Amino acid sequence: MAPKASKPKKTQHGDRPGPDGTVLQARRRKTGTQATAIVRVRCRPGTFEWRYSRFENAQYHAGAQFAQMWERAGIASCGGSLRDGGGGGEGWKGMPDARVVAMDRVRAISQDIGGPMTRRLVAYLVEGRTPKEIAATYPGQVTDRQVSDTLDLDLIELARSMGFAA
């Protein structure tokens, strides 16, 4: 008889981590000049949200906005069809203006910061990969600490490119 699989340990808030390792973490958010609220954020340890959401600095805001623009642009979406999928024969639907604006903005930022930096940021911000997972794609070349430092510099450059920092 095989040993029974153990359940994941509970966190300090009494929650069990999700199947992919996600946990709930408390974050303080400013709601006014002096008022703050505590918000619980679900994230995996090592991801962008886990590392930067507690600081709410230019890097966090630039990274969050870049991820939202990427998703709005639907660049990685295979289902972003421009034609009506139904049999109604309506034909061409066109592309939403918000998607076109997001695609143009992502393209301009990508040209400004460069291709390798964009690929690292997409893996980190959009795909939700950790520096350790990104370092695994370069076996024997870099450590997860080096990737973490590089991603920090990439986020500073992204913040500069998006106008969040000088």
Select from 29, 22, 27, 102 the least CA-distant residue to 70.
Answer: 102
**Mean pLDDT throughout 64-71?**
92
Select from 161, 98, 149 the least CA-distant residue to 124.
Answer: 149
- What's the token pair of residue 63? 């990274």
Burial of 54 (0-12, 13-18, 19+ CB in 10 A): middle
**Mean pLDDT throughout 56-72?**
90
By percentage, how much of the chain surpasses pLDDT 70? 68
Q: What does the pLDDT look like over 132-158, one tens digit per residue?
A: 999 999 999 999 999 999 999 999 999
- What's the token pair of residue 136? 């695994």
How far is CA 25 from its chain centroid? 17
Q: What is the mean pLDDT of the chain?
A: 79
Higher pLDDT, residue 34 or 3: 34
pLDDT at 96: 79
12 has pLDDT over 80:
no
pLDDT at 91: 54
Higher pLDDT, residue 43 or 159: 159
pLDDT at 63: 92
Q: Do 52 and 59 contact (CB within 8 A), yes or no?
A: yes
Higher pLDDT, residue 109 or 14: 109
**Mean pLDDT throughout 56-69?**
90
Long-range contacts formed by 90-99: CB under 8 A, 24+ apart: 98/72, 99/72, 99/73, 99/74
